[in-house]
Structure 1
């Protein structure tokens, strides 16, 4: 598993808190940088956000989906309704 910087971990925490507060949220790395992360931290690059997304996907906290046009979006790993059905 790759080593992650403190910056990556901090950005990952912001993203994880956002999906906890907004469990149906889904967006591209650029959208996540602009709307989810920039509210608390300004100046992080899309590459830095992508590293945080990769970190969260590796830990199964987020999942990615590929849209028909090839765009990749990220969302909480479990659908909000999944817990209710179990």
Structure 2
């Protein structure tokens, strides 16, 4: 796989994550869960690295939220720009 192919797969994974969250806006999962459940129909399946890269891109764009639990588990969910609650320092 070339670097361009990897980038295309990351972009495709990002689009699929957003599509999933449009249908399941309350979904919350780890990167592994995103790969195994949210993107289970994606062919070819994205690598763990591509999913992590897609989630990072979406977080940077403000489209998903990242939360680190006290046990260091990282959870991903849709970003709710209308939320009045302060997500605290663990949210990116």
TM-score band w.r.t. shorter chain: 0.7 to 0.9
Higher relative contact order, chain-length normalized (CA < 8 Å, sep 6+): 1
* TM-score calculated relative to the size of structure 1: 0.81
**What residue in structure 2 maps to residue 62 of structure 1?**
64
How far apart, in 2, do the equivalents of 1:29 and 1:22 lie? 16
Structure 2: unaligned runs, 5 residues or longer? 1-5, 84-92
Question: Could you list the per-position Cα deviations for residues 12-62 of structure 1 after superposition, in whole angstroms to 9, with x for gaps in the alignment?
Answer: 000001011100001000000000112233432111100000010011000
* TM-score calculated relative to the size of structure 2: 0.77
Picking from 52, 74, 77, the partner of 1:75 is 77
Structure 1: unaligned runs, 5 residues or longer? none
